[in-house]
Amino acid sequence: MKNKIPGIAINVKQIVNKMKRWSTKLNDVVDMMNTSGFGWDDTKKCVTCDSSQVLSQYLEKHPKVGNHVNKEFKEFERLQGIFGKDRANGQRADEGVENETTENQV
């Protein structure tokens, strides 16, 4: 990579690790926003929370998730464009079972 982009001081492993951290942060923020009591402030580009009680209950249930409330995340929309389609949402979870049943009935 250093041969292709002269003067760059990073390697592929560093890029992969950064992508993993961004993906994890995006997933954490989206999960938080999809929980009652949380929202998004488009002006400040950060997660909002209705109360400190809601936040403490959430962090208690999700100890590995960092506190992203009121912390600027200006890359959010761009990262949703990159990673958004990779998120499982459970919408098609039953299709495999339905297809298996149909196949066995034939």
Partners of 38 in the β-ladder: 49
pLDDT tens digits for range 29-41: 999 999 999 999 9
pLDDT tens digits for range 12-23: 899 999 999 999
17-53 per-residue burial string, b: 16 or more CB within 10 A, e: under 16: eeeeeeeebbbbbbebeeeeebebeeeeebbebeeee
Write down the pTM of the prediction: 0.70
Q: In the structure encoding, which two tokens stand for residue 75, read together? A: 């890359």
pLDDT tens digits for range 59-100: 999 988 888 999 999 999 999 998 876 665 555 545 544 545
